[in-house]
Chain A
Amino acid sequence: MSTAEITRAEYCVAACADIFTGAGEIMASPMATNPLIGARLARLTTEPDLLITDGEALILADTPAVGKVGAIEGWMPFRKVFDVVASGRRHVVMGANQIDRYGNQNLSAFGPLQQPTRQMFGVRGAPGNTINHPTSYWVGNHTKRVFCEQVDIVAGVGFDKVDERNPAYDDLNIHRVVTNLGVFDFGGPGHTMRALSLHPGVTAEQVAENTGFPISDLDSAPVTAAPTDEQLRLIREVLDPKSLRDREVRS
């Protein structure tokens, strides 16, 4: 397979798999298609001990294609998920309607808190996820509207909220942000967003134009690593034969 044939979505899936590098025996909770394929790809390659679920209450023993279920190895109803959250043995990849440069995330509503202009889901598990265990974000459409100067409502907690005198904040870890344009973390000055890599064909200018705040290391960011032949085979033949990944990210 030549690099030219690799789609943008496949770069995204490989980058989502890399989110879990080193995660070990924890519960992976990806909330959208690309990170879901990514978590399963990580389990089939670097992280065989990851726990993955069917999106409902069953822990999967196998690593089936997206949308498929197979043998199970356990039971994880919603009530137990909150115990896992509190234990820290989880890494979630959430979506976001807004993210700021410190990693604050909003999926609650736009506008004023008690009378918003647009209502979304509410804060969901974001406050508890971010304060308890590693949290990453997946954004399929990287725009200024999402990557904004200030989020309207802080659902997921960002690094500027950390009170170092209070050990309850010690586990806050906004690990990574993967978008259709590149891969980012919060290793910039004062825990601000930094570019780790840009996908092939994406320019620093393009990212800057689509982001409402400065991103560190944008000009020096390398090109996102291509998925290996083995990763491509697993993505295409095993995990996502129907190419659902391409519906989330077009090339």
Chain B
Amino acid sequence: MAAKTDKTSSLDDVVAELRDGMTIGIGGWGSRRKPMALVRAIARSDVKDLTVVTYGGADLGLLCAAGKVKRAYYGFVSLDAAPFYDPWFAKARTSGAIEAREMDEGMVKCGLEAAAARLPFLPIRAGLGSAVTEFWGDELKTIESPYPDADGRTQTLIAMPALKLDAAFVHLDLADAHGNAAYTGVDPYFDDLYLAAAERRYVEADQIVSTEELVSSVERERLIVNRMNVDRVVHAPNGAHFTFAGGYGRDNAFLKHYAASAADDESWTAFRTRFLDVDEATYQNEVTKWQAEQEEAK
């Protein structure tokens, strides 16, 4: 009997599939369960001119720092802990280095839902009257309802365009080799939706286990991703660091270090050399060493 496809891959395998100018979606929310191992791999690759769709945090910040971002579609960018604002996203915005398609948070969900359902758009009320329409220029249209309200007036709504992704990246706590995956935290965020909206779908997971172990170790409602919507699975223990994932909390000390390092060229070069211009295994080793150094310094 033929076996189901084994989709386990390396970070390099994934990066090799990316092309300049792609539109990529990044799962998670702010500093929660971001596929940071994949983000770090993209940041050190040769890929450029990316359009990024995200409920943003340091994922977008790091890609901005690496000069990878041409345009960003987002509802917010937040580190979720002090100093809250991402320094590299701020630099990219204040220097005009990226084109911002800012929108309401609900519009991100709506656009991904449209893409997942292969619809050109979905109507939504959010965005009306706000600066979202200015951020999007001619790209954002409105649509008049074909059904008048009871009082005879007609609703005009935002026609949220499908956020079609060339590639989507998510971090799940647990996966099997075929792409079935589960989260163990409190919130699934929008990860299954990102995958459903994308042509190529990539999952990084803290643990890769057998299908039997996957389904027996979590409640079935946690199996939010199935293999039909996954092309490659990457084993990335602690891969979401320094964001939160089911098995570990957000590393606030490292988050502060990341943000503080953006202050000048010297400190950023030091951060980049140690934590970004290195492969994932070295990154994880250096983080462990850095944490020990912090402990000693106390």
- In the docked arrangement, what's the CA distance between A154 and B190, Å? 26
B125 touches A128 (CB 8 A): yes
The stretch among B16-24, B93-101, B246-254, B285-293 that forms the contact with chain A is B93-101
A78 touches B128 (CB 8 A): no
- Collect the chain B residues with CB atoms within 8 Å of residue A168's CB: 125, 128, 155-157
A41 on the B face (CB < 8 A):
no
- In the docked arrangement, what's the CA distance between A161 and B127, Å? 12
B109 touches A86 (CB 8 A): no
- In the docked arrangement, what's the CA distance between A131 and B155, Å? 13
B130 touches A122 (CB 8 A): no
What total of A-B pairs shows CB separation below 8 Å? 149
A249 on the B face (CB < 8 A):
no
B104 touches A123 (CB 8 A): yes
B265 on the A face (CB < 8 A):
no
- In the docked arrangement, what's the CA distance between A111 and B187, Å? 35
A56 on the B face (CB < 8 A):
yes
Q: How far is the CB of A191 from chain B (nearest CB, A)?
A: 13
Total interface residues in chain A, CB < 8 Å: 46
- Collect the chain B residues with CB atoms within 8 Å of residue A78's CB: 29, 55, 187, 189-190
B76 on the A face (CB < 8 A):
yes
Total interface residues in chain B, CB < 8 Å: 49
Which of B90, B125, B193 is close to A119, meaning CB atoms less than 8 Å apart? B90
Give per-residue flags for A97-140: 1 if the beta carbon is below 8 A from chain B beta carbons, else 0: 00000000000110101111111111111111011100000000
B132 on the A face (CB < 8 A):
yes
- Collect the chain A residues with CB atoms within 8 Å of residue B146's CB: none
A52 on the B face (CB < 8 A):
no
Which positions in A face B, CB cutoff 8 Å? Answer: 56-58, 77-79, 82, 85-86, 108-109, 111, 113-128, 130-132, 153-158, 161-163, 165-169, 172
Given A115-B95, A155-B130, 11 further pairs, Cβ under 8 A = A78-B187, A86-B106, A113-B100, A113-B131, A114-B96, A117-B94, A123-B132, A125-B105, A157-B130, A167-B153, A167-B154
